């Protein structure tokens, strides 16, 4: 008796002359190919797309910054002359700067009746405030008009990333033109450190913030207190971190092979 290894073949072939193409078979085959193509393309798009993972932790992510945060402020006061407008910065480290002028610009508006203040400055990573007022003017006006529009208030590097809808310029567009002209405004900001790491591992440091605000006319026993637009800030100990991720190539290959086998 001869021993034939072919007995172990579980994929036995039907002789060619016994097979016959049918319309049903052709239809099913075309459907299968379309379905396989669909699976392949959806796996491919999943592989190409980057996903953004976010996490929270307690840390100071940007330790090399020397404990400083860059601030960019752009605000218009349409009824206050540029000679009167000034920015003062104060904080719990003892800083008290009146009439900050470095890297800032005052643009006259409304034929000189108003002013736009555009400034870049840095603040320490301790609670403090900066405020726009007439405090630095040589002579105080009778009734300074503090109505304003904030075009921009942002901290840290500019993050231009799709899909991350954070509050990087939460006060941008704040319009207080209809407010009482003599009122003071308090914006109370909670600044949240934010790190964005792209696919190449490059990190960018920025800050988001939430804001609460109130407006009031303040008096003391000597009379009305000079109004101001206050930005009082505090830092959150929690950092938000966004990381771009791409699916590993081996997973793409295995899912593609699996879906093609099915």
Ligand X SMILES: *[C@@H]1O[C@H](CO)[C@@H](O)[C@H](O)[C@H]1NC(C)=O
CA 120, 124, 126 angle in degrees (round to 5)? 135
| Beta strand 128-133 pairing with 228-235 | antiparallel
Nearest-approach distance from CB 238 to ligand X, in angstroms: 30
Nearest-approach distance from CB 151 to ligand X, in angstroms: 4
Phi then psi for residue 25, to 5 deg, are: -60, -45
Nearest-approach distance from CB 189 to ligand X, in angstroms: 19
Ramachandran category for residue 110: left, alpha or beta (phi over 0 → left; psi -120 to 50 → alpha): left
Cα–Cα distance for residue pair 214/169, rounded to 1 Å = 18
Which position among 118, 186, 198, 234 is part of the footprint of ligand X (CB under 6 A)?
A: 118
> Tokens at residue 210, please?
């939430």
Nearest to ligand X of 74, 206 (CB atom): 74
Which position among 100, 113, 151, 241 is part of the footprint of ligand X (CB under 6 A)?
A: 151
Nearest to ligand X of 87, 235 (CB atom): 87
In 4-103, alpha helices (H): 23-48
Nearest to ligand X of 148, 185 (CB atom): 148
Nearest-approach distance from CB 118 to ligand X, in angstroms: 4
Nearest to ligand X of 104, 180 (CB atom): 104
Nearest-approach distance from CB 203 to ligand X, in angstroms: 25
What residues between 219 and 258 interact with ligand X by CB under 6 A?
A: none
Total number of residues that touch ligand X (CB under 6 A):
3
Nearest-approach distance from CB 85 to ligand X, in angstroms: 14
Nearest to ligand X of 119, 128 (CB atom): 119
What is the SS3 assignment for 159? coil
**Cβ atoms of residues 146 and 217 within 8 Å:** no
Cα–Cα distance for residue pair 154/120, rounded to 1 Å = 10
Cα–Cα distance for residue pair 76/149, rounded to 1 Å = 5
Which position among 74, 134, 194, 206 is part of the footprint of ligand X (CB under 6 A)?
A: 74
Nearest to ligand X of 146, 235 (CB atom): 146
Rg (CA), the chain: 32
- Note the residues at the interface with ligand X (CB under 6 A): 74, 118, 151
């Amino acid at each position: 008796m001869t021993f034939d290894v072919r007995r172990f073949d579980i994929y036995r072939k039907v002789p060619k002359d016994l097979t016959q193409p049918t319309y049903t078979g052709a239809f099913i085959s075309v459907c299968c190919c379309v379905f396989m193509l669909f699976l392949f393309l959806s796996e491919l798009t999943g592989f190409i797309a980057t996903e953004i993972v976010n996490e929270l932790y307690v840390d100071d992510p940007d330790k090399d910054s020397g404990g400083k945060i860059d601030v960019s402020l752009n605000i218009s006061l349409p009824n206050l002359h540029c000679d009167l407008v000034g920015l003062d910065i104060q904080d719990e480290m003892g800083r008290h700067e009146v009439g900050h002028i470095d890297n800032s610009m005052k643009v006259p508006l409304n034929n000189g009746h108003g002013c736009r203040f555009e400034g870049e400055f840095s603040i320490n990573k301790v609670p403090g405030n900066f405020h726009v007022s007439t405090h630095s003017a040589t002579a105080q006006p009778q009734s300074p008009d503090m109505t304003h529009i904030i075009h921009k208030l942002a901290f840290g590097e500019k993050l231009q990333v799709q899909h991350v809808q954070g509050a990087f310029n939460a006060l941008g567009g704040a319009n207080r033109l209809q407010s009482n002209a003599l009122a003071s405004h308090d914006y109370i900001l909670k600044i949240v450190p934010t790190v964005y790491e792209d696919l190449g591992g490059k990190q960018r440091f920025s800050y988001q913030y939430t804001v609460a605000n109130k407006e009031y006319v303040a008096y003391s026993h000597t009379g009305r207190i000079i109004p101001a637009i206050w930005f009082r800030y505090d830092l959150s100990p929690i950092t938000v971190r966004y990381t771009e991720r791409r699916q590993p190539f081996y997973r793409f290959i295995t899912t593609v092979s699996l879906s093609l086998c099915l």
